[in-house]
Amino acid sequence: MKKLIIILGVLAFVIVSCNKQLKPASVIVIDPVRHYYPIIQGETMTVEFELENISDNPLFIQEIQTSCGCIVPRSELPLVILPHRNGYVSLDYNTIKNNGFVSHYAYCYGNFQDTTAILLQFDTNVVPSADYIRDYEELWTEQAKQSPTFRRIINSSTSQKGYYIESINNNAATEEEKPSIDYIIP
User: Of 155, 159, 121, which is closest to residue 31 (Cα–Cα)?
Assistant: 121
Task: Give residue-wise pLDDT tens across range 26-79.
Answer: 999 999 999 999 998 888 999 999 999 999 999 999 999 999 999 999 978 899
81 domain-assigned: yes
The partner residues of 44 in beta bridges, in order of sequence, read 94
172 domain-assigned: yes
What domain range includes position 31? 27-182
**Average pLDDT of the residues in 88-106:** 92
4 domain-assigned: no
| Cα 113 to Cα 25: distance, rounded to the nearest angstrom | 5
The answer on pLDDT for 183 being more than 50 is: no
The answer on pLDDT for 2 being more than 80 is: no
Residue 141 is predicted with a pLDDT of: 74
Q: Is the dihedral of CA 125, 128, 130, 134 positive or negative?
A: positive
State how beta strands 163-167 and 33-36 pair.
Answer: antiparallel
6 domain-assigned: no
Task: Give residue-wise pLDDT tens across range 112-154.
Answer: 998 999 999 999 999 987 665 666 677 677 767 776 665 555 5
The secondary structure element, H or E, covering residue 118 is strand 117-127
8 domain-assigned: no
85: domain CATH number is 2.60.40.10
- What is the number of domains present in the chain? 1
78 domain-assigned: yes
The answer on pLDDT for 175 being more than 60 is: no
* Range with lowest mean pLDDT among 11-25, 26-40, 84-98, 119-133: 11-25
Q: Confidence class of residue 19 from pLDDT cuts 50, 70 and 90?
A: low
Which of 41 and 171 is assigned the larger pLDDT? 41
| Cα 52 to Cα 141: distance, rounded to the nearest angstrom | 31
17 domain-assigned: no
Residues 6+ apart with CB under 8 A from 42: 95, 96, 129
20 domain-assigned: no
